[in-house]
Amino acid sequence: MKAHRHHHPRVVVITGASAGVGRATVREFAREGAWIGLVARSRDGLEGARKEVEAAGGRALVLPTDVAYPDQVEAAAAMVERRFGPIDVWVNNAMASVLSPALKMTAEEYQRVTDVTYLGYVYGTLAALRRMVPRDVGVIVQVGSALAYRSIPLQSAYCGAKHAVQGFVDSLRSELLHDGSRVHITTVQLPAVNTPQFDWIKSRMPCHPQPVPPIYQPEVIARAIVWASRHRRREISIGLPTVKAIVGQKFIPGLLDYYLAWKGYKAQQTNEPIAPDRPNNLFHPLPGDHGAHGGFDEGAYEFSLQLWLNQRRLWVAAAALAVGGYLAKGLSTRRNDRRWDGEPFSPTGGTTRSAREQAARQGGLYA
């Protein structure tokens, strides 16, 4: 097992690999020469991803798969291990959503979003664990969302699924700790990201869907996912908006209810009208290779200072302690100087520094 890990590229499986965050993550792993199992429904997108991996020097296996079906997920995992060897990293990323008021949603839509966005993670995680636990090594990265903590209007199915993933992972993590397993599960919580999903999610709203600003580029997320696959963090949040959503939900959930009721509808739509019957990918993939980026490149952030600091939190804490100690020492010195200058004699009857200097001047020691 050690020989595989030291002398061969990492073997990685990525669900939702054909577009968006998954596609950007494929490219990021490919830069390190990983061998990647590409899991998604869209063969066009998977073939485009395969070419990018091979151009970067890695190897790729195209695995058209609907993660809503556990037998397909299991078959994809088995194929990866037959072709590439033991899976080192499994990234659950596939998702589906509907932009719609809850009362206009159908049972079939709730079922589909839940099957992909929640149960797809469950099936992927279990397929990975069945292989990793006996070897006592491996990493599973769950691509989460700030919406796993703070739900927003018009995405009740998606938010519910992300909350469910959070509960599933917390429970499973405790079981692995109980068993003494070294398999690691981590969650990367996302902000709004510029991906093609807003061009194809089903919507009942009058205008084109958009991510709630501020928006980050998918490459920011991809770098964080690859970083998380190498560091044993329980969870990592990307972007200050994600942190604000998580903290806000803990302390002011009621206020956020009213704020999102006021702002949440407009924040998720542009001013561009769309046809109510526009094509969507809820039940079937759309043709073509859609890549990693959506239509919101302008103004999207390519760097997260919050993430950069988070990744270096021990150094940041050490630097903060050093600066705090330096400032405290300086403040203490200033207070001591003021005490010497304001008291001509010490409490014990001896002269202070100011009194000694005055006596020295009178004795002609100073010009």
CA distance 246 to 263: 18
Give the pLDDT of residue 8: 84
Give the pLDDT of residue 314: 76
Of 123, 149, 158, 216, the active-site residue reads 158
Give the pLDDT of residue 351: 47
Give the pLDDT of residue 358: 52
Give the pLDDT of residue 224: 97
Residue 158 is among the residues annotated as catalytic for this protein: yes
Give the pLDDT of residue 367: 37
Please classify residue 320 by burial: count the beta carbons closer than 10 Å to its beta carbon, then call 0-12 exposed, 13-18 middle and 19+ buried: exposed
Tokens of 264: 């949440």
CA distance 353 to 170: 63
Residues in the chain with pLDDT values less than 50: 1-5, 345-347, 349, 351, 359-360, 363-367
Encoded amino acid at 144, one letter: G
Give the pLDDT of residue 311: 85
Give the pLDDT of residue 340: 59
| pLDDT digit string, tens, across residues 329-351 | 667 677 766 665 655 544 454 54
Give the pLDDT of residue 73: 98
| pLDDT digit string, tens, across residues 219-274 | 999 999 999 999 999 999 999 999 999 999 999 999 999 999 999 999 999 999 99
pTM (two decimals): 0.86
